[in-house]
Amino acid sequence: MKFLPTLLLTFLYCLGYGQQYTLSGYVKDASSGEGLIGVSVFVEELGQGTTTNVYGFYSLTLNQGSYKVKYSYVGYKDFFEDAILNTNVRKNIDLSESDDLLQEVVVEAEQSDENTKGTQMGKIDLNIDKIKTIPAFMGEVDVLKTIQFLPGVQSGGEGNTGFYVRGGGPDQNLILLDEATVYNASHLFGFFSVFNADAIKNVSLTKGGMPANYGGRLASVLDITMKDGNYKSFHADGGIGLIASRLTLQGPIKEDTASFILSGRRTYIDVLTRPLIPDTSAFSGSGYFFYDLTAKLNWRLSDKDRLFLSGYFGRDVFTFNNADLDFTFNVPWGNSTASLRWNHLFNDRLFVNTSAVFTDYNFAFEGGSSGFTFRLSSGIRDGNLKQDFTYYPNSLHNVKFGWNYTLHRFIPSSLGASSGDVEFDTGEDVKIFGNEAAIYLLDEWDVSENFKINAGFRLSMYQHVGPFTRYYKNPNSGVTDSTTVYGDFESVKTYYGPEPRLSARYLLKDNSSFKFGIAHNYQYIHLASISSVSLPTDLWFPSTELVKPQIGTQYSMGYFKNFFDNKYEGSVEVYYKDLQNLIEYKENSFPEDNLSNNVDNQLTFGRGYSYGAEFFLKKRVGDFNGWVGYTWSKTMRQFDEIDDGGWFPAKYDRRHDLSVVLQYQLSERVNIGGVFIYATGNSLTLPERRWFSLEENRLITVWSDRNAYRLDPYHRMDLSVTVDAKSTKKQVDKDSGKVNMVKKKVISSWNFSVYNLYNRANPYFIFFDYSGDPLQGSVEFGANQVSLFPILPSITWNFKF
Partner 1 sequence: MKKFFYILCVLLLINCQKEIEFDLPDVEQTFVLEAVVESGLPPRVIVTNTQGYFDPLDSNSFLNMFVDNAMVELHDGDTTFELVYSFVNSNGVILPGYTSFDPEIIGQYGKNYTLHVQVGDKEAHAKAQIPHPVILDSLWFFAYEAYDSLGFIWAKFTDPDTVGNCYRWFAQRINSYTYNYDPPFDNVKGTMKDNRPLAPIGSSTDDKLFNGLSFDFAVPRGEDGILEGPDDQGPERGFYKRGDTVLVKSTTTTYPTYLYVRAMENQAVSNGSIFSSPGNLPYNVEGDGLGVFIGYGVSYDTLICE
Q: DSSP 3-state assignment of 403?
A: strand
**Least distance CB 327 / partner 1 (angstroms):** 11
Q: What is the closest distance, in whole angstroms, from the C-beta atom of residue 480 to partner 1 in the complex?
A: 7
d(CA 190, CA 177): 18
- The secondary element (H helix, E strand) that includes residue 53 is none
| CA distance linking residue 397 with residue 453, whole number of Å | 10
Nearest to 248 by CA among 259, 236, 260: 236
Smallest separation (angstroms) from partner 1 to the CB of 190: 11
Nearer to partner 1, 568 or 585 (CB): 585
Please, which residue, 487 or 777, has the CB nearer to partner 1? 777
- Note whether 236 and 249 are within 8 A (CB): yes
Q: Give the distance, in angstroms, between the CA of residue 714 and the centroid of all CA atoms in the same chain.
A: 22
The nearest distance, CB 765 to partner 1, in angstroms, is 5
CA-closest candidate to residue 331, choices 341, 317, 321 = 317
Residue number with CB closer to partner 1 (339 or 720): 720
Least separation in angstroms between residue 643's CB and partner 1 is 10
What is the smallest separation between the CB atom of 158 and partner 1, expressed in angstroms? 10
Contact assessment for residue 517 and residue 121, using Cβ atoms and an 8 Å cutoff:
yes
In angstroms, what is the minimal distance from the CB of 155 to partner 1? Answer: 16
Nearer to partner 1, 80 or 781 (CB): 781
Q: By C-beta, is 82 or 769 nearer to partner 1?
A: 769
For 727-793, give the DSSP string: SEEEEE-TTT--EEEEE-SSEEEEEEEEESTT----EEEEEEEEEEEGGGTEEEEEEEEEE---SEE
Q: Which is nearer to partner 1, 151 or 157 (CB)?
A: 157
Q: Which is nearer to partner 1, 482 or 784 (CB)?
A: 784
Nearer to partner 1, 58 or 540 (CB): 540
CB 546 within 8 A of CB 600: yes
Q: Residue 545: CB partners within 8 Å, gap ≥ 6?
A: 464, 470, 492, 493
Tell the smallest beta-carbon distance from residue 424 to partner 1 (Å): 4
Nearer to partner 1 by Cβ, of 214 and 365: the residue is 365
Round to whole Å and give the CA distance between 114 and 77. 18
β-pairing, 714-724 with 550-563? unpaired
The answer to whether 185 and 220 are in contact (CB under 8 A) is no
Distance CA 213, CA 226 (A): 20
Decide: 648 and 636 in contact? Cβ < 8 Å: yes
What's the closest the beta carbon of residue 629 comes to partner 1, in angstroms? 28
> In terms of CB distance, is 196 or 794 closer to partner 1?
794
Nearer to partner 1, 6 or 477 (CB): 477
Which residue lies nearer to partner 1 by CB, 372 or 563?
Answer: 372
Q: Cβ of residue 780: shortest distance to partner 1, in angstroms? A: 5
* Inter-residue contact 700 to 691 (CB < 8 Å): yes
Q: Please, what is the minimum distance in Å from the beta carbon of residue 703 to partner 1?
A: 5
Distance between CA atoms of 15 and 60, rounded to whole angstroms?
13
In angstroms, how far is CA 55 from the centroid of its own chain? 19
**Residue 203 · residue 182 · CB < 8 Å:** no
What's the min distance (Å) between Cβ of 531 and partner 1? 5
Among 161, 185, 189, residue whose Cα is nearest residue 174? 185
How many other C-beta atoms lie within 10 A of the C-beta of residue 203?
A: 23
Q: Indicate the DSSP class of residue 449.
A: S
End-to-end CA distance of the chain: 58
By C-beta, is 347 or 370 nearer to partner 1? 370
The residue among 8 and 700 lying less far from partner 1, judged by its C-beta, is 700
* Minimum separation from the CB atom of position 518 to partner 1 (A): 34
* Nearest to partner 1 of 16, 793 (CB atom): 793
Closest to 295 (Cα-Cα) out of 252, 245, 242, 249: 249
- Shortest separation between residue 422's beta carbon and partner 1, angstroms: 4
325 in helix, strand or coil?
coil
How far is Cα 178 from Cα 296, in angstroms, rounded to an integer?
A: 10
Report the alpha-carbon distance of residue 94 to residue 33 in Å, rounded: 8
d(CA 185, CA 172): 13
Residue 58 in contact with residue 79, Cβ under 8 Å? Answer: no
Least distance to partner 1, CB of residue 525, Å: 21
- Strand blocks (E) in 325-396: 327-347, 350-369, 372-394
* Least distance to partner 1, CB of residue 789, Å: 8
Closer CB to partner 1, residue 320 or residue 451? 320
C-alpha gyration radius of the chain: 28
Q: Give 277's strand partners.
A: none
Q: Which residues lie below 8 Å from residue 84, measured CB to CB, with a gap of 6+?
A: 65, 66
